[in-house]
Amino acid sequence: MKIYQLNNIKDKKQFLKDLKVHGGGVSIMAKKMELLYFFIKDLKTPAANILKQDALSIGAELATPSGVITCEKETYDCLLVGTRTHMEVLSKKELAQPFGLKKLAQELQSFLKVKAYPIQIMGIINANDDSFFAASRFLKEDAVKQIKSMVANGANIIDIGAVSSRPNAPVVSEKEELVRIKDICDAIKFEKLYEEVSFSIDSYTPSVIEYALKSGFNFVNDITGASNDEVVKLAVEHGAKLCIMHMQGTPQDMQDNPNYEDVMVEVSEFFEERIEQCESLGMKREDIVLDVGIGFGKTLEHNLMLLKHMGHFKKFACQVLVGASRKSLIDKIIPTPTEERLAGTLAIHLKAVSNGASVVRCHDVREHQQALAVWEALQ
């Protein structure tokens, strides 16, 4: 007999099938193979004691501070640990319990229903002269060549923007933004490049977005989080996907002093509010993409927290986009000029994909296609 430890089994059901496990047991066993962790913030003390006992009764665990049992405080932060089967049982059991446990049960159920999306690579093209990475800037003829190159190298989506959103970027007028993007849109429409790949317009200006959508674009990437209802309505009218990004402040002041009481909670609440508003305007949830906004009004610690726990945002049943390509958080970890941040970018993006991101926005399509193909083979 020989034995070795398996660190990760991506497709647990398929592994069990290959092992010739009886059909009825595959689904049951697969759920027992997946260990889940849920951080619960400000749980009422009576609820913590009830949940602790219910968790223990089925073989799960609730890690609590020592003062919970004596009710020293009104609320506590706790960690719920168990298999997927445990969470399914608890999510049903706690529906009948008081002290906010019904809401907790409903939250657990939303996490358990997350949808798996295929990984897509979004290539970046900037139609301006001041984006932070010079190699991403292209005018009409060069932009078309770069689009074709990105498609050949494995891009699923091409994201084109005419206004830089780097920290302290200059404000650009609506007229100037349209002038910058118009020729590229016209070329995409004339050559019917939209038949080969999806095009995303990186803008929050309705007139620019409308022009792009009429040129064959089918994705709107709005760094303001779709704060303008007109943008949402345009996406709905043209059947386009809409990326809602979180940003604290504006590009001109977002990095002055980013501050959060709890960045995970605040970004999550922001998405909840924006999704509700978008759906009220006719947007389908499956057409909404979420971007936590790495580097947009966040410190290094905020960015790392969001990247480490990106799987949390899958509970909204939307695709999750990660966009950390060559950004300054890499420089804050290890001093590196923008031109030399590809390795750091790949490390961040592979971690984000491991944690639930399914759309990777990047400057270097070919390198990402290779890295993701190897990553997939290792799962």
| Domain map (residue ranges) of the chain | 34-112, 120-378
Residue 333 has pLDDT above 70, yes or no: yes
Q: Which tens digit of pLDDT belongs to each residue from 131-159? A: 666 566 667 678 888 999 999 999 999 99
Where do we find the tokens 């970004």? 267
Residue 15 has pLDDT above 70, yes or no: yes
> What are the respective helix, strand and coil percentages of the chain, to the nearest 5?
50, 15, 35
Compute the average pLDDT of residues 302-330: 95
Residue 8 half-sphere exposure toward CB, CA atoms < 13 A: 7
Q: Which residue has the higher pLDDT, 142 or 220?
A: 220
Q: CB-based contacts of 162: which residues, under 8 Å, 6+ apart?
A: 126, 127, 128, 172, 177, 178, 180, 181, 203, 208
For the residues of 74-105, what is the DSSP string, one character each? Answer: SEEEEEEEEEHHHHHHHHHHGGG-TTTHHHHH
Its sign, for the CA torsion 91, 95, 99, 104, is: positive
CB distance 201 to 161 below 8 Å? yes
In eight-state DSSP terms, residue 252 is: T
- Please tell me the distance from the alpha carbon of residue 253 to that of residue 291, in angstroms, as a whole number: 19
Question: 16 pLDDT band (50/70/90 cuts)?
Answer: confident
Please state whether the predicted TM-score (pTM) of the whole model is above 0.85: yes
- Please tell me the distance from the alpha carbon of residue 82 to that of residue 84, in angstroms, as a whole number: 7
Q: CB-based contacts of 121: which residues, under 8 Å, 6+ apart?
A: 154, 155, 156, 157, 360, 362, 365, 368, 369, 372
Just list the catalytic residues.
327, 361
Residue 330 has pLDDT above 70, yes or no: yes
pLDDT of residue 303: 96
Compute the average pLDDT of residues 18-45: 86
Question: 29 pLDDT band (50/70/90 cuts)?
Answer: confident
CATH superfamily of 120-378: Dihydropteroate synthase-like (3.20.20.20)
Compute the average pLDDT of residues 13-33: 82
Q: Which tens digit of pLDDT belongs to each residue from 78-124? A: 999 999 999 999 999 999 999 999 999 999 998 888 888 999 999 99
Residue 274 has pLDDT above 80, yes or no: yes
CB distance 156 to 358 below 8 Å? no
